[in-house]
């Protein structure tokens, strides 16, 4: 299957689901979908088209939270990034860990660093932060403020 | 000088602890052991357990998860122990000074005897630093 066939397949199957489509370069395509359709789209791209799940990245923009699920077609050197936008008040999306086991840890990481809630995740606990980190403080959000009163932020010279 | 300390200064055994470093300082430390720099001529050997060590080499910006581990290691170490901070991160956290995960420097957690600056420091600098630590202890109050 070549690149055009893959894109036509995705476009044909999810005609009503795709909100935005942009081709950044010949090897890189961004597809924006609604958060509620994520499981169907991931199932199709991962299981039917046989793409590899590379990683997911979370982002805190001005108006919303954003997750990009990066799928690569290694034989073609082609990357499809699925973009979902979540509201700032209630950032919630269904987990894809039931389809892709490898997405479990990156979802845990996004949960603790940005504060996105993944519904249906099998084991949504802390991954990287230390145990004394307070609940509800997310370090990679743009409105993060220092909470630790004992922290020293000078070089001591 | 006590017999114990004299033996320590003849052949300081070194334990290497990475407190979340980028591995550059760790590579330079391993470089010291290669034939080109050969710190074994000073009797220095890397050991696998802190319980055998006389010198604790620390690299990396100390992150939150690592702080309890550092304290634990320092408690387990046989005293007297020389603590050497290697690299800009262990000294002052370098570029991670405003990071949410690096609240304090290493010398606020355990007492540090020698600071070796550089990002990463050259193997020559590390050897010079440890040699200075030995000199310092020879002259210090620990002798009594």
**Nearest Cα to B105, choosing from B74, B66, B79?**
B66
Does B105 sit within 8 Å of A150, measured CB to CB?
Answer: no
Report the gap between the CA of B99 and the closest CA in chain A (Å): 9
Which CATH code, of 3.30.930.20, 3.40.50.12280, 1.10.1140.10, 2.60.40.1510, is assigned to B18-143?
3.40.50.12280
Backbone φ and ψ for B59, nearest 5 degrees, come out as -125, 160
What DSSP assignment string belongs to A15-84? Answer: TTTEEEEEEEETTEEEEEE-GGGHHHHHHIIIIIS--EEEEEEEEE-SSEEEEEEEEEETTTTEEEEEEE
Task: Give CA–CA dist B107/B117, Å, rounded.
Answer: 14
Domain layout of chain B by residue ranges = 18-143
pLDDT tens column, B109-122: 999 988 999 888 99
Contacts of B108 in chain A (CB under 8 A): 152
Band of pLDDT at residue B144, cut at 50, 70 and 90: very low
Q: Around Cβ A21, how many Cβ atoms within 10 Å?
A: 13
Q: What pTM value is reported for the model?
A: 0.79
- DSSP annotation of A124: -
pLDDT tens across the length of chain A (157 residues): 788 888 888 888 888 888 888 888 889 999 999 988 899 899 999 998 889 999 999 999 999 999 999 999 988 889 999 999 999 998 999 999 999 998 999 999 999 999 899 998 998 888 888 888 888 889 998 888 888 888 888 876 5
Contact (CB<8Å) B104/A139: no
A133, A151, A155: residue with CB nearest B92: A155
CB proximity B65 to A under 8 Å: yes
The span from the CA of A114 to the CA of B78, in Å, is 42
Residue B40 and residue B34 in contact, taking contact as beta carbons nearer than 8 Å: no
Q: How far apart (Å, rounded) are the C-alpha atoms in residues A50 and A64?
A: 30
User: How far apart are the CA of B91 and the nearest CA of chain A, in angstroms?
Assistant: 9
Mean pLDDT of chain B: 86
Give buried/exposed letters for B43-63 (b at 16+ CB in 10 A, else e). ebebeeebeebbbbbbbbbbb
Give chain A positions within 8 Å (CB) of B63: 130
Beta bridge partners of B96: none
How many Å apart are CA A45 and CA A51, to the nearest integer?
A: 6
Does B69 reach chain A within 8 Å, measured CB to CB?
A: no
Chain B positions touching A157 (Cβ under 8 A) are 92
| Mean pLDDT, range B123-133, rounded to an integer | 86
Residue B144 or residue A142, greater confidence? A142
Alpha-carbon distance B100 to A148, whole Å?
9
Q: What is the pLDDT of residues B46-78, one digit of tens each?
A: 899 999 988 899 999 998 989 999 999 999 998
Residues from chain B that touch A155, judged by Cβ atoms under 8 A, are 92, 97
Q: Quick one: pLDDT at residue B142?
A: 54
Q: Give the pLDDT of residue B1.
A: 56
* Residue A92 to residue A84: CA distance in whole angstroms: 11
Q: Which of B64, B90, B92, B117 to mutate to test the interface with A (most CBs of A within 10 A)?
A: B64
Percent of chain B with pLDDT over 70: 94
- How many whole angstroms separate alpha carbon B17 and alpha carbon B122? 18
Q: Give the domain ranges of chain A.
A: 3-91
Query: CA–CA separation, A126 vs A111, rounded Å?
Result: 8
Residue of A nearest to B63 (CA): A130
ipTM of the complex as predicted: 0.72
The Cα–Cα gap between B41 and B97 comes to 37
Please compute the mean of the pLDDT values over residues B24-45 and round it to a whole number: 87
Tell me yes or no: is domain A3-91 CATH 3.30.460.80: yes
Chain-centroid distance, C-alpha A73: 18
* Number of Cβ within a 10 Å radius of residue B30: 13
CB pairs under 8 A between A and B: 30
End-to-end CA distance of chain A: 62
pLDDT tens digit sequence for B77-111: 987 788 999 999 888 888 888 888 888 888 889 99
CB contact under 8 A, A132 and B103: no
| Distance of residue A153 Cα from the nearest chain B Cα, in angstroms | 6
Contact A115, A91 (CB under 8 A): yes
How far is the C-alpha of A71 from the C-alpha of A43, rounded, in Å?
12
């Amino acid at each position: 299957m070549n690149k055009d066939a893959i894109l036509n397949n995705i476009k044909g199957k999810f005609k009503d689901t795709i909100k935005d489509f942009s081709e950044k370069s010949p090897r890189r395509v961004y597809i924006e979908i609604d958060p509620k359709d994520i499981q169907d789209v991931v199932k199709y791209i991962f299981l039917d088209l046989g793409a590899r799940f590379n990683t997911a990245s979370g982002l805190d923009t001005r108006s919303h939270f954003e997750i990009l699920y990066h799928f690569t077609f290694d034989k073609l050197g082609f990357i499809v990034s699925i973009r979902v936008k979540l509201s700032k008040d209630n950032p919630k999306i269904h987990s894809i860990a039931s389809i892709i086991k490898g997405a479990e840890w990156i979802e845990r990481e996004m949960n603790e660093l940005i504060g996105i809630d993944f519904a249906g995740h099998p084991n949504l606990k802390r991954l990287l932060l230390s145990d004394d980190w307070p609940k509800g403080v997310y370090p990679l959000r743009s409105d993060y403020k220092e909470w630790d009163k004992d922290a020293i932020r000078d070089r001591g010279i | 000088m006590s017999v114990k300390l004299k033996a320590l200064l003849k052949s300081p055994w070194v334990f290497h602890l990475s407190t979340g470093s980028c591995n550059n300082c760790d590579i330079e430390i391993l470089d010291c052991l290669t034939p080109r720099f050969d710190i074994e001529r000073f009797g220095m050997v890397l050991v696998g357990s802190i319980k055998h060590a006389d010198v604790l080499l620390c690299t990396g910006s100390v992150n939150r998860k690592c702080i309890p581990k550092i304290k634990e290691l320092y408690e387990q170490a046989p005293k007297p122990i020389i603590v050497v901070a290697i690299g800009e991160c262990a000294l002052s956290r370098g570029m991670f000074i405003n990071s949410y995960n690096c609240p304090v420097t290493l010398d606020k957690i355990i007492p540090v005897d020698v600071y070796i600056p550089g990002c990463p420091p050259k193997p020559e600098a590390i050897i010079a630093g440890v040699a200075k630590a030995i000199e310092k202890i020879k002259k210090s109050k620990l002798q009594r």
